[in-house]
Amino acid sequence: MNLKNLLATVAVCLGLFSSASALAHTHLKTLVPAADSSVAPTNELRMSFSEALEVSVSQVQLLRVDGAAVGPVVLGLAEDDNKTLLVKTAKPLAPGEYQVQWRVVSKDTHTVKGTYRFNVRQ
């Protein structure tokens, strides 16, 4: 292999490596309650991510399906797990449909956001 081909190969490999690492953002792994599920009354939601989170700059808004905010909600991390965000309400949620709007920041400062719904049954 001549020097020109070797340099071209190295450049391509570096480009692929840097592209892959640039796409390595935090992503949501699991939800409790799960999206579109029906659950018994609860006062805690658990959202597990692929990376450690900065809870102090993360946000979660819990809304009834009619748009009324449920609150206040308290955010924290699961004990011994800096990848699982806990969302707690003062009392169990009343029966009805809820929407969760979330925006989290990972320790490497990447921000991701999303929404999902679930239902609380009687």
Q: Distance of CA 27 to CAs 14, 38, 67, Å? A: 24, 23, 26
CATH 2.60.40.1220, domain 26-120, yes or no: yes
Q: Tell me the pairing of strands 111-120 and 38-39.
A: parallel
Least confident of 14-18, 90-94, 102-106: 14-18
Q: Give the pair of three-digit tokens for residue 42.
A: 């609860």
The answer to whether the beta carbons of residues 104 and 49 sit under 8 Å apart is yes
Q: Give the pair of three-digit tokens for residue 105.
A: 């920041």
Q: Return the domain boundaries, the chain.
A: 26-120
Q: Give the predicted TM-score (pTM) of the model.
A: 0.78
3-state helix, strand, coil in the chain (%, to 5): 20, 50, 35
The proportion of the chain whose per-residue pLDDT surpasses 70, expressed as a percent, equals: 80
What backbone torsions phi and psi does residue 99 show, to the nearest 5 degrees? -120, 135
> Is residue 41 predicted with pLDDT exceeding 50?
yes
Helix, coil or strand: residue 23: coil
User: Residue 43: what pLDDT?
Assistant: 96
